């Protein structure tokens, strides 16, 4: 996987040098064009994980932006309205992810989203404790994390 990524980067630099346009858009365009060229060349190869992980990373990035946008709107609404609509709580989220990298990534994504904060991981790595500003239904909150961030992180790491 690393060699395909490095090949893609090198071909991108070749693309930029040949076109003579050193703008960010040209780098991105060259990366995408070279990604598809490498994908076509190695289509029959069973060791082509690079071509499945990049689209998943891009999809995760846009999913995170959407979650960030929704959480920001919710917190901003709470700030500008005179009512106190929060129902804060600490929730035990059972973990499917077992690796330290995956747990760290999940905890950071949760903490980066406004209104939620990862507090701790149990010693056996089976539970993540999360503080949230809006916990109306604990099961719904747990399912939103498990079917949102955790599911997508597992797809990337497997």
Q: How many angstroms separate the CA atoms of 52 and 102, rounded? A: 18
Q: Could you read off the pLDDT of 95-111 as tens digits, one per residue?
A: 999 999 999 999 999 99
Average pLDDT taken over every residue of the chain: 88
**pTM of full prediction above 0.85:** no
Domains and CATH numbers, the chain: 2-41 (no CATH), 50-157 (3.30.70)
Closest CA to 147 of 67, 53, 90, 89: 67
Residue-level pLDDT at 37: 83
127-132 and 116-121 as β-strands: parallel, antiparallel, unpaired?
Answer: antiparallel
- Of the chain, the percentage scoring pLDDT greater than 70 comes to 95
What residue ranges in the chain does DSSP mark as E strands? 89-94, 116-121, 127-132
């Amino acid at each position: 996987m690393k060699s395909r990524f490095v090949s893609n980067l090198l071909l991108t630099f070749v693309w930029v040098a040949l076109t003579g346009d050193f703008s960010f858009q040209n780098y991105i365009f060259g990366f995408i064009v070279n990604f598809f060229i490498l994908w076509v060349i190695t289509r029959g190869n069973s060791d082509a994980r690079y071509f499945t992980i990049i689209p998943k990373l891009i999809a995760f990035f846009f999913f995170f932006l959407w979650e960030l946008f929704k959480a920001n709107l919710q917190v901003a609404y709470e700030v500008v309205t005179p009512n106190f609509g929060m129902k804060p709580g600490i929730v035990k989220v059972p973990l499917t992810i077992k690796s330290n990298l995956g747990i760290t990534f999940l905890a950071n994504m949760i903490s980066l989203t406004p209104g939620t904060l990862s507090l701790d991981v149990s010693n056996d790595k089976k539970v993540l404790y999360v503080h949230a500003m809006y916990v109306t239904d604990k099961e719904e909150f747990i399912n939103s994390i498990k079917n949102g961030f955790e599911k997508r992180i597992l797809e990337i790491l497997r």
